[in-house]
Amino acid sequence: MAQQLWLLRHGEAVPHDAAPDFERELTDRGRDQSRAAGRALSALEVEVHLCFTSPKVRSRETAELACEALGVEPVEEEVLAEGFDGAAALDLMRTAGADQRVLVVGHEPDFSQVVYDLTGGRVDFKKGGVAGIRLDGSRGELIALLRPRETDRIR
């Protein structure tokens, strides 16, 4: 089995003018999106071995809520705060075993760039959305792209 990288964009957060960027929290809707993403991954039997999250509050909250359903503890990773790309994603994946699934929680436009860097695909990554990439070395195949309205329906 190949490695899998699962990307979860943080849920909806309070507006930019409500708090400094690093401290913006999730809204109620964002918390619901985060829980739904975790439940959906669990229902799809995506066994997550490691979870890395941006240290920004909205991402950390998203990771904690999603990981409740996945039985894994998120670990903060500074590189996810800003400027995360395909090369950085591959660096994170080197910490995982050959057949492990890694969940990464972070931000746009970084995650769309990661999908492009690893698969060549262009995606519209919604808040609370999930993308799955199967990795073969430094090459990837997009195996899933779920919007929040889809993760909410998967039980």
Q: What is the pLDDT of residues 43-99, one digit of tens each?
A: 999 999 999 999 999 999 999 999 999 999 999 999 999 999 999 999 999 999 889
Would you place residue 1 in the very low, low, confident or very high pLDDT band (cuts 50, 70, 90)?
A: low
Task: Taking the CA atoms of 78, 111, 61 and 71 in sequence, report the sign of the dihedral they define.
Answer: negative
pLDDT at 13: 98
Strand order in the sheet with 3-9: 74-76, 50-53, 101-106, 3-9, 130-136, 139-146
Give me 41's structure tokens.
Answer: 């991954």
pTM above 0.95, yes or no: yes
Closest by CA to 59, choosing from 47, 71, 67, is 67
Residue in 14, 26, 51 with CA at minimum distance from that of residue 128: 26
DSSP 8-state assignment for residue 55: S
| Cβ neighbours, 10 Å, residue 122 | 8
Mean pLDDT of the chain: 96
